């Protein structure tokens, strides 16, 4: 019953496609060709078609893919039944930014609880999200059946917090602290290392200045 023959990269893109498809649907577009979705998602058409192979959703050469069905198929693959509850540990600037990020639009993910040891922060409610002291973490996580943890604490606390999350039954963690987290094999850790992202970007800025200018031409788009 191995449910993962689906490439990770495909999962990521399906998330992106779904957002674009929802926008199309709002604009009344019921069908889309792979090459047009490819432009909107900044991918190749063949990539789009390959990705959709995992959905067992077929298109007609005349009309293309049925947008509504695609969205449902992707949702069936990505979403759980109900809204997926997440908890965030570390209510600094980054923590607040994430809480805010998930508020508003009808996302299927929500941050249900926050945790911080700073007494000025806990027992407050930030943008609809209640903040508790870290001691209460295990209790709240189990009570609320929270499935995903987000770590935005300083790097020296990250591994420790991760282990507490795992002991409370959390099965997936997004770690924003700039240090990799180690975990048992059945817990998925997403190390979102912003420092690496920016240093990589800086590296490209550097080598693009060293080497000669080569213009590929601006391709506008996405303003349908």
Partner DNA sequence: AAGTGTGAACCTCTTCACAGCA
Partner DNA sequence: TGCTGTGAAGAGGTTCACACTT
Q: Which stretches of the chain bind DNA, using CB under 7 A?
A: 7-10, 33-35, 43-47, 49-50, 52-53, 57-62, 64-65
Tokens representing residue 161 in the block:
């917090």
Residue nearer to a copy of itself on the CB measure, 56 or 93: 93
* Residue 10 contact among a copy of itself, DNA, none, beta carbon within 5 to 8 Å by kind: DNA
Tokens representing residue 112 in the block:
């249900």
* Residue 49 contact among a copy of itself, DNA, none, beta carbon within 5 to 8 Å by kind: DNA
CB of 122 to a copy of itself, least distance (A): 19
Residue nearer to DNA on the CB measure, 97 or 197: 197
CA-based angle 70:74:75, to the nearest 5?
Answer: 115
Task: Report which secondary-structure segment, H or E, holds 191.
Answer: strand 188-191
* Residue 60 contact among DNA, a copy of itself, none, beta carbon within 5 to 8 Å by kind: DNA
Cα–Cα dist 224/210, whole Å: 37
DSSP secondary structure letters along 188-204: EEEE--HHHHHHHHHHH
CA-based angle 139:143:145, to the nearest 5?
Answer: 115
Residue nearer to DNA on the CB measure, 32 or 161: 32
CB of 187 to DNA, least distance (A): 17
CA-based angle 139:140:141, to the nearest 5?
Answer: 95
CB of 154 to a copy of itself, least distance (A): 11
* Residue 188 contact among a copy of itself, DNA, none, beta carbon within 5 to 8 Å by kind: a copy of itself
Tell me which long-range contacts 142-145 makes (C-beta under 8 A, separation of at least 24). Answer: 142/168, 142/169, 144/85, 144/87, 144/112, 144/113, 145/85
CB of 13 to a copy of itself, least distance (A): 8
CB of 64 to a copy of itself, least distance (A): 20
């Amino acid at each position: 019953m191995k449910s993962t023959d689906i490439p990770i990269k495909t999962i990521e893109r399906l998330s992106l496609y779904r957002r674009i498809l929802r926008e199309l649907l709002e604009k009344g577009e019921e069908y889309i060709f792979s090459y047009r979705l490819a432009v909107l998602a900044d991918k190749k058409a063949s990539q789009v078609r390959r990705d959709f192979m995992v959905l067992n959703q077929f298109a007609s050469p005349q009309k293309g893919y049925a947008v509504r069905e695609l969205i449902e198929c992707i949702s069936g693959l990505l979403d759980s039944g109900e809204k997926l509850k997440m908890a965030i540990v570390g209510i600094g600037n980054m923590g607040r930014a994430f809480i805010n990020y998930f508020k508003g639009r009808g996302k299927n993910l929500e941050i249900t609880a926050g945790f911080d040891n700073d007494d000025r922060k806990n027992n407050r409610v930030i943008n609809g999200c209640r903040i508790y002291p870290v001691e209460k973490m295990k209790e709240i996580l189990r009570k609320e059946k929270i499935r995903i943890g987000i770590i935005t604490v300083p790097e020296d606390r990250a591994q420790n917090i991760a282990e507490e999350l795992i002991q409370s039954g959390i099965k997936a963690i997004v770690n924003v602290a700039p240090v990799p987290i180690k975990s048992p094999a059945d817990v998925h850790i997403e190390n979102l290392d912003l420092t690496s992202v920016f240093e990589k970007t800086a590296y490209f800025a550097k080598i693009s200045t060293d080497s000669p200018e080569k213009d590929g031409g601006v391709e506008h788009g996405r303003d349908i």
